[in-house]
Structures are given as structure tokens and as C-alpha cells.
Amino acid sequence: MISSYPATNLNSETGKLQGVIIHRPGLEIEQMTPDMLDKALFDDILNSRIANREYTQFENILKKYTSVFYIEQLLLQAFRDNENVNDNLNARKFLTSEIENKTKTKISATLKKESDENFIKHIIEGFDAWGVTPLYNLYFTRDWAVCFNGKAVPTAMASSVRFAEALLAETVFKFHPIFTQSEAFAYPWTDIPATHKRSVISWKNNQQKLEGGDFLVESENVFLIGQGSRTNDKGVLAFIDEKKKTSKNFYIITQELPLKIASFIHLDMVFTFLSDSECMVYEPLILKDEKYATRLIEVRNGKITSTLQHDIIAALHKIGKDYKPLLCGGTNERYQQREQWYSGCNFFALANGKVMGYERNEYTVSQLDKAGYRIVSADEILSGKQFLDMENSKEKAIITIESSELVRGGGGCRCMTMPFSRADC
């Protein structure tokens, strides 16, 4: 029933999680070879058996505390339940036509005749005979959309190898009752003429880039956006235009990122929120390196002003938001570099002060321990040896996830989640 779905609502990074979209890595990552790494945007080839064991642990923690939805299941439901569709295209035809339009891939008549389940399987896992490229990065569900307030918006991906991922998101947002029931879907980063209210709209300007890993929601009207290899000025301006449709006054803090260092591809690789008063930072870049500008953008009654700030913490303080930074890798620069490389900043909050992260980053976990976070392994939670009270607003905890293989893809717990519903803090 539609009423059983959590409403699209996201006004923070740390409110109690109510709904999240994920994708278990599958055959698509087994098809990778070393010569594909650059094109596939991966750091290394994954051992799929070990990666899936680790993912099962991560997945079961999410299932214990929130409603979990899989992108392939949402697509299948969208294909089969079109009661709320206001145009003549069903979801499968929409996805097919948009893939062909945006990726210049001609999907064969054979694939079009496959069952819904097999069609989705081949779109995700690829099928060389039909020229369909595997979606290697799909388990990083964070990047292909952004959710904020009551909206869900597909992103403008920087690399063509990921275009199809945003199309999957667009299909789900446009056709699945989770999003259509509340009209949460917003067209992707474009001004829509009144005559095209429910028609198929492509991104207006292909130069716009904005990915979910660069987008953080501090509160209803305060946002952080990284600007580097995956998100640019035009992407920031496109978000401002979208937000202005519903709010006259809001803030955006932008942070420039290095363009050529693989582990700095998104803001959430160097900065994430842990609670309503603490954050995890990669100190050398976020607090010490003044080569990369931090800007506070204020939008007030439609007028945009921008001022340089010393760093993100200072910018937040400027607007009355005070956060204590905890240091990824601790205070030793060598460990800072090592653990940031292995997604040591990339935490995901299940609730305020209750986060998930990789256990391999021992010095980072130690920083959380010193800050009063109880360290508990995922196995201890899942076996019942440890209990985490999500209703206790004062308890702080870090759930550690095994991570010898998943991390090789170049992302952490935040990267592998697309939350669309949180309780307001």
C-alpha cells in the first residue's frame, strides 16, 4: 500500500533514518578487468565474494534500523504499477528511450522483449552483445541523486559511464509511488516550460555537474556542496535555482576540492556530519589548506551574495551553526592521509550521533572513542551481543563495518546509501 511508504523528507544528515535506497554489488563488478579501471572510475578490482560478505553485514545493519529499498525492486514496481502516471509513457518505455537518447546506445529488440526482471538485470549488469555497459558504480547509490526537504532530484553526472545510473533514479522518482504520492520528484536541474509539465525533459545544459557525494544537507535551509572533478559552479547555480522555487532564504557553503586526487572526488570523502554538533574532517584540506576556497553563499529574497570564509567550520559558525570537528586519522599526518584514502571521513548516520564507518580506519575510530562514541562492531549488533538504542538521543556510537574489499571501489558507508526520508531533528 502507498500509505506504508515513508514520506520523502530530508532536512538533515543526522535525523533518524526512515527510508534508504541501496544496491547490492553484483555481476557488474565481476566483469571488470584492470584495463577498465580508469573508465569505470574504480581504484581497484574487487573480490566479489568478500565484497558481498562485507556488504551483507552493512545491509543487515541498515535493515535492523530502517526501511531499506533496492533500486532494482523500485524499478520493477515502477514498471508494473503506473496508476499515478499522468502521461502515455510507462516506466519501462521511458527508461529505454532515455538510455538511447542520452547514452547513444541502441537497445536491441531482443532486450526490449525480455521480462521486466531480465530487462533490469541486463541494464545493470550489462550485455556486450547489445552494447549495454555494466553499471559498475551502481552500489554507490549516493551519487546519482540528491534528496533535500521534500524533493528527490536525479543528478547531472560528470562521467558518461554513469549517465544511466541517473536515468534509473529519474525513472524511479518519476514513476514509483514512494515519490509520486508526494510529488517529490523535481525535474533535473532545468527550467521547465509550462507546456512541458509531464513530458520527458533532458538536462538543459550538459555542462552542469552535480553529484550526490558533493551534496550535504545540514538543515532545512543550509546546504554544503563540494566543487571539484564531479561538481562545478553551474551545478551549484542549478541547485540554487531549484531551491528558490520553494524557499526565499537559504545558505550554501561551497568547498573547492583538488581535481586530480582520486580520494578527493567528493566532499563527503573529506567532510561528513556525525551529529547535530560534531563532524568528521580531513584536517589537512578542510582546516589547514587555504589553496582551496570556502565560500558562504546567502540567498535572501532572490538576491545572491557570496563571501570567502576560512573553512567550513568557520562558515557554519558565521550563520549560527557550531560544530566540533573530529579528525580523520587523528593528529598524525601519515595516518590522516592513509585513512582518508580508505574513506575514513565517509560516515553515514542512522540517527543523531549514531554512525556507521569502516573498522579498518583505527585512528579515526579512536578519535570517535575519545569524543565519547561507543565503539561496537556490526557483528556484535547483529548477533545480539550489543544493543543500540536509536531513541536515546544522548547515546553516541560508531558501528564498525568490515571493509577489506568494499573500500577498493573508492567509497564508504555514506557513498553506499541514498537516504530519502529522515525524521526532523
What range does the domain containing 199 cover? 2-422
pLDDT by residue (tens digit) across 274-284?
Answer: 999 999 999 99
Phi, psi of 254, rounded to the nearest 5 degrees? -105, 145
In this prediction, residues 330-334 reach a mean pLDDT of 95
Judge whether residue 228 has pLDDT over 80.
yes
Query: What pLDDT score does 194 carry?
Result: 36
Judge whether residue 66 has pLDDT over 80.
yes
Q: Which residue has the higher pLDDT, 120 or 42?
A: 120
Here the CATH number for the domain that contains residue 166 is: 3.75.10.10
Q: Is 238:208 a contact under the CB 8 Å cutoff?
A: yes
pTM of the complete model beyond 0.85? yes
Residue of 201, 207, 210, 69 lying closest to 144 (CA atoms): 210
Q: Is 117:76 a contact under the CB 8 Å cutoff?
A: yes
**How far is 270 from 179, CA to CA, in rounded Å?**
31
Return the residue matching grid coordinates 521486466: 116
Query: What pLDDT score does 204 carry?
Result: 43
* Count: domains in the chain: 1
Judge whether residue 36 has pLDDT over 90.
no
Q: Which residue has the higher pLDDT, 323 or 235?
A: 323
Phi, psi of 210, rounded to the nearest 5 degrees? -155, 125
Query: What pLDDT score does 203 carry?
Result: 39
Of the pLDDT bands very low, low, confident and very high (cuts 50, 70, 90), residue 85 is: very low
Query: What pLDDT score does 28 carry?
Result: 82
DSSP state of 7: P
Q: What is the mean pLDDT of the chain?
A: 87
In this prediction, residues 368-372 reach a mean pLDDT of 98
**How far is 275 from 171, CA to CA, in rounded Å?**
32
Cα distance from N-terminal residue to C-terminal residue, the chain:
27
In this prediction, residues 294-318 reach a mean pLDDT of 96
Query: What pLDDT score does 206 carry?
Result: 56
**How far is 362 from 380, CA to CA, in rounded Å?**
17
**How far is 59 from 389, CA to CA, in rounded Å?**
18
Judge whether residue 257 has pLDDT over 80.
yes
The one-letter amino acid at 367: Q
Query: What pLDDT score does 160 carry?
Result: 75
Judge whether residue 167 has pLDDT over 70.
yes
Percent of the chain past pLDDT 70, that is, above it, reads: 89
Q: Three-state DSSP class for 233?
A: helix
Residue of 315, 371, 318, 380 lying closest to 347 (CA atoms): 371
pLDDT by residue (tens digit) across 383-421?
Answer: 999 999 888 778 999 999 998 888 888 899 999 999 999
